[in-house]
Amino acid sequence: MAPRIVDKEAKKNQIIQAALQVFAKNGIAKSKMIDIANAAGVGKGTIYEYFRSKEEIFAEAYNTFFADMKESLITHIAEVDDPVEKLNLLSNLSFSFLDSESRDFAAVMMDFWAEGVRTKNDEMLEIVNLKRTYTEYRTLISQIVREGIQKGIFKKVDVDSYSAILIAALDGILLQTIIDPNIINLVNVEKTLSETLISGLKK
């Protein structure tokens, strides 16, 4: 009988998805590797063939999520020339990541980061490196706004401040949807954000 071929990437993703469910249910602090193994339907020994710790599992999920989001943003924005359209596209893509699955992940991410702060766990804080994530996001927005100013399309504004404000708005919306998905109408919020924060930049 031929040995069964194991799709390692599929198995790894299976473990990651199970871990996120366990984290969402139990919280990071109370989650154990055996809980994740049981949820994934694998043996405890098997899970250690892929990951050394729950922190490493989350790191893989976090890095994959934000790498996919960043790649999607950069790829789509590169396809348009109008700075206004670029900002609207950035907003649209950001809202597309506010589905229920992404909200659940964001809630786990916040719990992971908070646990790192509470326990002063440098490994956890390095994994959820919000400073790096925000810096990359601000840089992307700033580049678009500077382009709009140089082309005479946007008013002259403090680019760094504008970038921080736009991110704060998007972050605040995410936080509200985590607390209560039905608290706001995302379609109306996205439209209003475009009409104020983005269109308000135009001369």
* CA-closest candidate to residue 95, choices 1, 4, 169: 169
- The dihedral over CA atoms of 172, 131, 85, 197, expressed in degrees to the nearest 10, equals 40
Q: 164 with 138: CB under 8 angstroms?
A: yes
| pLDDT for residue 1 | 45
10-residue block means of pLDDT along the chain (203 residues)?
A: 65 89 86 93 91 87 81 89 93 77 74 76 75 88 96 96 93 82 83 90 92
Residue 32 CB contacts under 8 Å (≥ 6 apart), including other chains: 54
Q: What is the chain's length? A: 203
Domain ranges of the chain: 1-52, 61-201
Residue with tokens 């702060």: 117
pTM of this structure: 0.76
| pLDDT for residue 100 | 61
Q: Which helix (H) or strand (E) holds 146?
A: helix 130-150
| pLDDT for residue 150 | 96
| pLDDT for residue 87 | 93
- Asked if CATH classification 1.10.10.60 holds for the domain at 1-52, the reply, yes or no, is yes
Q: Which fold has domain 61-201?
A: Tetracycline Repressor; domain 2 (1.10.357)
